[in-house]
Structure 1
Amino acid sequence: MAGAGGVSESVFPDLGAEDSGPTLIESLCMNCLENGMTRLLLTKIPFFKEIIVSSFACENCGWVNNEIQSAGKIQEQGVQYKLHVSSKEDLNREVVKADCATTKIPELDFEIPPFTQKGALSTLEGLIDRAVAGLEQDQPTRKATDPDVASKIEEFIEKLTKLKDVEMPFTLVVDDPSGNSFVENPNAPQKDEALMITHYKRDAVQDSMLGLQASTEEEKSQNTMEDLRNEVLQFGTNCPGCNAPAETNMKIVQIPHFKEVIIMATNCEACGQRTNEVKSGGATEPLGTKITLRITDPSDMSRDLLKSETCAVSIPELEFELGMGILGGKFTTLEGLLNDVKELTVAKNPFFAGDSTIPERSEKLREFGQKLNEIILGKREAHIILRDSAGNSYLQNLYAPDPDPEMTVEKFERTFEDNEELGLNDMNTEDYQEQKVDN
């Protein structure tokens, strides 16, 4: 086994042709209580973190059981995918469902609670088949002991099965507080009109369900920010790339003509990966901010840029839109942001590489990457739009304090949907003590 810096690489090797193969473990069959064989594979799938793949087979009774368990870290925010299914092509979308995710089909009032199924990497059709198989498992016993219940379940199974014909549109909701589930966007890098992705902060109940300790009021105190204003804080963490121990530096920085932000930077000595993340140091602004820049010169690429977690990025000329929460918070340059977009949509897209690649999609993605390169090199004019409903994003004005002729900054009233995504509709900051006593 390797040293501390290389433990994660030896335990979770990349999935490839040179894999050493699964580990064989003799295990007890829970069906016939005889011994069977479990094949255990610890690997790392791109864009799905580290996973543990286990496959059990019993030669005595023929029972088999396959599972996928996430071995990666819990994300900072939960995620909810809401897919409007209107055609059979939607049934072929890849779905990564963590075991802590809740799956719903509102039209049938159907719900799979968290931790009732193991994690799975499948298609939407595969999820439906899995749900049908689970309901059919105890039907012979129900028919003998409670025919009425068995009949109702049989009717419900028929409704689930008919979903695969997509005679009527329906909605699939995957809500994962760990943030490790995923639903494919076949139109990437363009926005998927049928798929809505919402990132949210976990509540105390969800933290407890995941085994996390809720933050105390002292940890949220603003006095902590004052103490850290003139110093760099270091704390231990794990590298997001190789999971080796690393150090993260945190510092409060005042951006000219803007506000204070918290910058966190991690440098991994084991694999060399460097990451930075930015959090707003202030409260949510009364109004949202929309920044539009007309890119006309290569010098625009050097503009400083702060993208908060609540900021959506769009490039109208490429029909491209990056939703809020994706890429996280960043303090970089405009060139750095566009390179991150290119890496996310082209270089690290799991559904446009490997054996499952569709030529038409790959060609479409290559063209998108070429157009992005032309914008970065100043060979193509374009507009970049930063829409931040919390008002915490910033793009450098090269003519400050005078207006920038190529850039417009607009303030806008948030919609109900904007406030819902920010969690402001349920937030009360007035008379909350009196209301707490009344309740």
Structure 2
Amino acid sequence: MGETKPLFRDLTAEDPDPETTEIESLCMNCGENGTTRLLLTRIPFFKEIVLMSFDCPHCNFKNNEIQPGGQIEEKGVKIKLKVETQKDLNRNVVKSDFTSIKIPELDFEIPSQSQKGEVTTVEGVLDRIVRGLSQDQETRRKEHADAAAQIDGFIEKVTNLKQLETPFMMILEDISGNTFISNPNAPHVDGNLESHLFQRNKEQDHLLGIFSHEEVDEVTGEKTESSGNTAEGVMKSIAEGEFTYENMLGEVMQFPTNCAQCGSPCMTNMKMTNIPHFKEVIIMATNCDMCGNRTNEVKSGGGIEPKGIKIEVLVSEPDDFSRDVLKSDSCYLYIPEVELRSGSGRPWRQVYHRGRPPTGHEGATRRQGFDV
């Protein structure tokens, strides 16, 4: 039996012949059959993606697309990049079908859903703009000379941006949250890039095909029944006395999921427990037999607190490394000494570290509550 490999894996020099899937499919240009190749891979510091390449041997039509390999993010993302050097032009860009691109210096915008998703670079985005504007220019010069001259002038402005005579801003906004620009200095702070998450409105959810249970019930005229496998079904069983709260505390539940590292099917174990001096939490552990990845997550068993909290810890002795740490998805971490920032920009894995209790260092911790 051959070696079992993850579903999504990195492209490396040790894997010169990556596993691709070939599918015979219809060419939309000439109507003959061509070949679509699918490659499942991972982009560092981003997520799993599916690369699709179509090639028709009859009319030589080619098309390349990219689709996210995971679920749609809970929030949209807006990325601002200040392009100043050649290194910025060489940054990798991953964009989806729902990505809009703006260049304020040119008063130029590529609307959402006007282009297919792709993996490219900042310079590649500019080159695609030039290619799109250059199409049919010879015909325009004959039939609409003034419009062609204006387009030629705009193409020259886009071309000049690549000369980096003056810095310019590139803004990418994606309601699906599946857009990414690489940081050449990762994991250090990227001074030229800002990334912000935003909450989608109902119209944007509908554009992505996301509907609530109530909206589905309104369309179908039927009420969705609660299943015993869902959280709502479990709570209903508790309310009806079929499954007591004490039983839940002593029970380890299992449910199927996909590995966050390679996307292969695996099982997640879930158990409720009580952390001393804190609150009840839900611990979830996932072990992937395919790639060996192990993750541990902790979710709060109670509601959201009325105030946020800011905690400053001075790490000065080895015992400080053994402190228990519990953090949520919305936690923001900053270590000034190494200029490390990370947190609510993208959800973290929550880690509960079981170590020795701190001894005599309570004065090194400061807690401060604030209104949300």
Distance 1:330 1:26, change over 3 A: closer
Distance 1:208 1:268, change over 3 A: farther
Q: Confirm or deny that 1:398 pairs with 2:358.
A: yes
- Match in the other structure for 1:319: 339
Distance 1:298 1:272, change over 3 A: same
Q: Confirm or deny that 1:38 pairs with 2:58.
A: no
- Match in the other structure for 2:257: 237
The 5 A counterparts of 1:325-340 are: 325-326=345-346, 328-333=348-353
1:184, CA displacement in angstroms? 1.3
Distance 1:162 1:274, change over 3 A: same
| Partner AA of 1:405 in structure 2 | G
Do the aligned residues in 1 keep the contact of 2:40 with 2:69 (CA within 8 Å)? no
Cα deviation 1:143-176 (Å, max 9, x = unaligned): 4555554444333333322222233332212223
Work out the percentage of aligned pairs sharing the same amino acid.
41
Cα deviation 1:181-211 (Å, max 9, x = unaligned): 2111122222112111223343333332222
Aligned-partner Cα distance in 1 for 2:305–2:169: 32
| Partner AA of 1:275 in structure 2 | T
Do the aligned residues in 1 keep the contact of 2:297 with 2:352 (CA within 8 Å)? no
Counterpart pick for 2:190 among 181, 189, 192? 192
| Partner AA of 1:398 in structure 2 | P
Do the aligned residues in 2 keep the contact of 1:291 with 1:407 (CA within 8 Å)? yes
1:229, CA displacement in angstroms? 6.2
| Partner AA of 1:28 in structure 2 | C
Aligned-partner Cα distance in 2 for 1:229–1:157: 67
Do the aligned residues in 2 keep the contact of 1:91 with 1:125 (CA within 8 Å)? yes
- Match in the other structure for 1:246: 266
Counterpart pick for 1:310 among 314, 330, 347? 330
The 5 A counterparts of 1:265-344 are: 265-280=285-300, 281-283=302-304, 285-286=306-307, 288-326=308-346, 328-333=348-353
Cα deviation 1:365-409 (Å, max 9, x = unaligned): xxxxxxxxxxxxxxxxxxxxxxxxxxxxxxx9836xx98122122
Do the aligned residues in 2 keep the contact of 1:248 with 1:265 (CA within 8 Å)? yes
For 1:212, what is the secondary structure of its paired residue?
Answer: coil
State TM-score, norm by structure 1. Answer: 0.65
Higher helix share: 1
For 1:44, what is the secondary structure of its paired residue?
Answer: strand
Do the aligned residues in 1 keep the contact of 2:297 with 2:349 (CA within 8 Å)? yes
Distance 1:24 1:198, change over 3 A: same
Cα deviation 1:200-255 (Å, max 9, x = unaligned): 3433333322223336599999x959969652665433222333333434555554
Distance 1:403 1:318, change over 3 A: closer
The 5 A counterparts of 1:37-436 are: 37-38=34-35, 40-47=37-44, 48-56=47-55, 58=57, 60=59, 63-143=61-141, 146-214=144-212, 231=248, 234-251=254-271, 253-280=273-300, 281-283=302-304, 285-286=306-307, 288-326=308-346, 328-333=348-353, 398=358, 404-412=362-370
State TM-score, norm by structure 2. Answer: 0.75
Cα deviation 1:259-304 (Å, max 9, x = unaligned): 4544443334554433233444422543x43222222333322221
Aligned-partner Cα distance in 1 for 2:274–2:96: 39
1:117, CA displacement in angstroms? 1.4
Aligned-partner Cα distance in 2 for 1:137–1:123: 21
| Partner AA of 1:282 in structure 2 | G
| Partner AA of 1:410 in structure 2 | Q
Aligned-partner Cα distance in 2 for 1:27–1:163: 39
Give 5+ residue unaligned stretches, structure 2: 216-225
| Partner AA of 1:309 in structure 2 | D
1:44, CA displacement in angstroms? 1.5
> What RMSD in Å do the two structures reach over aligned CA positions?
3.9
Do the aligned residues in 2 keep the contact of 1:70 with 1:119 (CA within 8 Å)? no
Aligned-partner Cα distance in 1 for 2:205–2:31: 38
Distance 1:320 1:247, change over 3 A: same
| Partner AA of 1:241 in structure 2 | Q
